[in-house]
Amino acid sequence: MDWRKHVRTALDGRHPGLGHRVELGLHALILYSALEMGVETLPHLPGWAATALSVSEIVVVAVFTIEYVLRLATAPAPGAYARSFFGIVDLLAIAPFYLGLAFIGFGLDLRAVRALRLLRLVRLLKLARYTSAIDRLAAAWRVVKEEVIVFGVAALIVLYVCALVIFQFEHDAQPEAFASVLDAMWWAAVTLTTVGYGDIYPVTPVGRVFTVLMLFVALGIIAIPTGLVASALSAIRTREEAAAREPEPPPAEPPG
């Protein structure tokens, strides 16, 4: 096994000696970097703590940079890796740090730097590389993609129709709450997703009856796509278990 394959299998968690330890180390760094984003927003953070967080962020970026360079150098097709989903995720995981340095160096608005820092959350997507459940979820999406898209379009149409109807019922009674169909769309979205913030609600009898009917529709809007994905996941897992139970073919006998 040449060094490229050693490095590649170690980074993917498949190396017989280093794979598990490298995988756990990268997991820990990913989770730490996400936790760090929350800790650094604490008010009245001591100076030593802010310095420690800044230094640790540099260490995390350095490790992820080395990982990206090694993956690029050891990939069978570096260009294909760079354009792949995980290649883009690996790049976005380190890009905010370097872009932030460039923005500060050129004296650009610090608000842009703060916005870039949100991209650090992309690092959480790196966890998907190490779990087969994500592969099953992606396979399930490919199975039900067309049905879910059609259902999503239908749900948007239902949302718009409900907004138009409730606007007609409630505008005269609540001209401020239901000032336009766009305000009614906010109410329809909150109601159809069963969130129910309560900031806007109908007060007319016909509006309340219509809302009850909408709530029954909302149950279907949530349940149907969930059922489609769950059914596809169950079918994929059943196929995987059946394939695992199949006996391996016996080795071919050498010609006598």
* Average pLDDT in the chain: 83
Q: Domains for the chain: give ranges and CATH numbers.
A: 1-130 (1.20.120), 135-244 (1.10.287.70)
Chain segment 118-143, per-residue pLDDT in tens:
677 777 777 766 667 777 888 888 88
Asked if 47 and 106 touch (Cβ cutoff 8 Å), the reply is: no
Q: For 195-218, what is each residue's pLDDT tens digit? A: 777 788 899 999 999 999 988 888
Average pLDDT of span 46-56: 90
Q: What confidence tier does 65 reach under pLDDT thresholds 50, 70, 90?
A: very high
DSSP-derived letter for residue 247 is P
CB atoms within 10 A of CB 80: 10
Q: How many Å apart are CA 48 and CA 209, to the nearest integer?
A: 59
Joined together, the tokens standing for residue 172 give: 């005269």
Residue pair 97/118 in contact by the 8 Å Cβ criterion: no
Average pLDDT over residues 4-10: 79
pLDDT higher than 80, residue 47:
yes
Q: Which of 225, 215, 203, 224 is nearest to 162 (CA)?
A: 215
CA distance 172 to 203: 11
- CA 171, CA 183: separation in Å to the nearest integer? 10
pLDDT at residue 167 in the model? 94
- pLDDT tens per residue, range 208-250: 999 999 888 888 888 888 898 899 888 888 887 887 777 666 6
Local structure of 239: helix, strand or coil? helix
pTM attached to this predicted model: 0.61
Own/partner pairs for 151-157, CB < 8 Å, 24+ apart? 151/224, 151/225, 151/228, 152/225, 155/192, 155/221
